[in-house]
């Protein structure tokens, strides 16, 4: 049974694989960028990519910049919600963007939203090319 077959069947196993791939990719990006990650970011990455999986038909039907903008907004929204919970409510200090211009409560900032846009542009372009 191939991964493509599982994804086409929209099975729970496909959702688990998509979540795991997103979790691994997000965690790896953080390790490469910051030198470490936190388990909450791994889960957040999985949730983001699973959300994109559920939106795949829409992502494929709109122009690439529109889907990338939506992807960046989704990642930023997840990052804000997780940040409010883990950083502000629980006090875990996983990250702090307070020093970044335009930050919102130190949890999100335009710089990282722009980075998410570029990454979504590349990711969604690859999906569109290889689908």
pLDDT one digit per residue (tens) for the chain, 131 residues: 555 666 667 688 889 999 999 999 999 999 999 999 999 999 999 999 999 999 999 999 999 999 999 999 999 999 999 999 999 999 999 999 999 999 999 999 999 999 999 999 999 999 999 98
Q: What global pTM score does this model have?
A: 0.91
* Structure tokens given for 6: 């599982």
* Structure tokens given for 18: 């998509």
Count of domains observed in the chain:
1
Residue range(s) defining the domain that contains residue 94: 3-130
130: Cα within 13 Å, side-chain hemisphere = 7
Beta-carbon contacts of residue 128 (< 8 Å; ≥ 6 apart)? 60, 64
CA-based nearest residue to 123, from 6, 16, 7, 22:
22
Residue spans of alpha helices (H) in the chain: 3-9, 12-34, 39-54, 56-61, 64-83, 110-130
């Amino acid at each position: 049974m191939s991964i493509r077959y599982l994804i086409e069947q929209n099975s729970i196993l496909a959702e688990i694989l998509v979540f795991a791939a997103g979790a691994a990719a997000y965690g790896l990006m953080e390790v490469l960028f910051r030198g470490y990650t936190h388990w909450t970011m791994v889960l957040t990455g999985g949730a983001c990519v699973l959300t994109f999986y559920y939106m795949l038909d829409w992502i494929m039907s709109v122009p690439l910049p529109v889907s990338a903008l939506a992807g960046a907004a989704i990642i930023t929204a997840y990052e804000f919600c997780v940040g409010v919970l883990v950083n502000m409510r629980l006090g875990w200090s996983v990250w702090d963007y307070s020093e970044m211009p335009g930050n919102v409560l130190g949890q999100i900032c335009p710089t990282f939203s722009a980075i998410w846009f570029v990454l979504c542009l590349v990711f969604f372009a690859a999906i569109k090319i290889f689908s």
